[in-house]
Amino acid sequence: MTARTPAFELTILMPCLNEAETVAICVNKARGFLESRGIRGEILIADNGSTDGSQRLSTEAGARVVDVPSRGYGAALIGGIEAAESEFIIMADADDSYDFSNLDAFVEKLRAGFDLVMGNRFLGGIAEGAMPPLHRYLGNPVLTGIGRLLFKSPSGDFHCGLRGFRRDSIRALNLTAPGMEFASEMVVKATIRNLKITEVPTTLSPDGRSRPPHLRSWRDGWRHLKFLLQFSPTWLFFLPGCFILALGLAGMAWILPGPVHIGSSVLDVNTLVFCSAAVVCGLQSVLLYLCAAVYSVRVRLLPDHEFIQRLRDTFTIERGLVVGALLVSAGLALGAYAVGIWGRADFGPLNAGDSLRIVIPSATLIVCGFQIAFFACLLSVLQLETRRPGARTRVSDDEAPALQMASRSSR
């Protein structure tokens, strides 16, 4: 079976939670845009539990209202995307901060074949009082800069609420974030999956509400940052881990031969202990990156790539246990050597500096050996096959529409 033909070309989607002051204004502007451009479309309000009559006002203004019981900005939009009956969707808040009567640039780009068309408020203009200084000069630029750095995204305004997209392309991303971080999730996943992304200048005006916005600056900013890091194990684990590991190894190699004099200061075994800790923490961070990368690829959060394939093929549990055993054995050998030195002193007092230069590397090798051995076991667990013989664990994006149609036909 083939997927059903969309009933409309364009859905103008607005999440709504107690927007009685502005929702009818937005719907009227959107309806005027569709009619003046001759676009076959619908206006859809994804209501998130309004108690101020927003649903009635929306319906009276000519919109279709779908109730989304799961609370949150992202949850409302996910519900709206599922309910939309169109090829394209343009979404924006129902607070009259974006001009629904002028969406031509978005429609033009969508018709040209782009999967995601982002608005950019910093290119189009931000009216006085439309965005708090904290968001304009710190929050949005910093989070957008981090997103562009981590994912090489072409978007210059990660959090613009006005954006258009091809419905099937965005549904295939399996967006799940229920809160404000939904905005970042869409851009990040679209970038990772190599969707065609562009942006157009967008003007932001002060919203027409008399109440404060739902956005909570620090809480929602942290949720955005946390999401960006969770989708970038390279920056979260690997790069910091490599830096700490290299720093620890270099420090140990520098101090092991003997105390290091820097002016009137002396770096000795106390510093060596912290270098050892850096080696252990750095190695653990790198191993966590490998686990996170393998898991993310397995559950399709991130696309597979050659390095992860090579890791799965070469770093088997057997090889990991061998490497771990060799490091532990080396550490135990050093420990035995230290005990021998202590024995020659009749197990009495020793020079702390000399003995710790053997004991600290011994303990470091033992801990790192166990880390690698346990990591090999965990990596093996992450790759366990959970599918029953003959069962299917995943439906491809191409198969999903046909299976949905078959399901409807069988009811």
Q: Are 179 and 74 in contact (CB under 8 A)?
A: yes
pLDDT digits over 199-222, tens only?
999 999 998 777 766 667 777 778
Is 192 within the bounds of a domain? yes
Do 279 and 373 have their domain in common?
A: yes
User: Model's pTM, two decimal places?
Assistant: 0.74
3 state SS of 350: coil
- What 3-state class would DSSP assign to 301? coil
Q: Within this chain, do residues 222 and 285 fall inside the same structural domain, yes or no? A: no
Q: What is the mean pLDDT of residues 235-241?
A: 92
Rounded Cα distance between 57 and 71, Å, is 21
Same domain, 194 and 288: no
The total number of structural domains that make up the chain: 2
Structural domain harbouring 248: 233-382
Residue 29 sits in the same domain as residue 93: yes
Is residue 293 helix, strand or coil? Answer: helix
Give SS3 for 46.
Answer: strand
CA distance 148 to 197: 13
Summarize the confidence of residues 186-198 as an average pLDDT. Answer: 94
Q: Is there a single domain that holds both residue 153 and residue 194?
A: yes
pLDDT at 242: 96
Strand partners, 16: 47
Length of the chain: 411
- Whose tokens are 């801990």? That residue is 367
Residue in 49, 44, 117 with CA at minimum distance from that of residue 86: 44
180 token code pair: 């404000």
Report the mean per-residue pLDDT for the chain.
Answer: 87
- Residue 213 and residue 284 in one domain: no
CATH of the domain at 78: 3.90.550.10
pLDDT digits (tens, 9 = 90+) for 300-349: 777 777 777 787 777 788 888 999 999 999 999 999 998 988 888 777 77
Residues 283-296 have pLDDT tens digits of 999 999 988 888 88
Q: Are residues 34 and 153 in the same domain?
A: yes
Q: Burial level of 109, CB count in 10 A (0-12/13-18/19+)?
A: buried
- In percent, how much of the chain has pLDDT > 90? 55
**Contact, 81 vs 170, CB < 8 A?**
yes
Whether 161 contacts 99, CB under 8 Å: no
Least confident of 39-48, 173-182, 276-285: 173-182
Instruction: Name every residue whose Cβ is closer than 8 Å to that of residue 321 and which is 6 or more positions away in sequence.
Output: 373, 376, 377
Query: Token pair of 88, please?
Result: 């394209």
- Please indicate, yes or no, if residue 288 is contained in any of the structural domains: yes
Name the least confident of 60-64, 76-80, 286-290, 392-396: 392-396
CA pair distance 370, 378, nearest whole angstrom: 12
pLDDT-derived band at 227, boundaries 50, 70, 90? confident
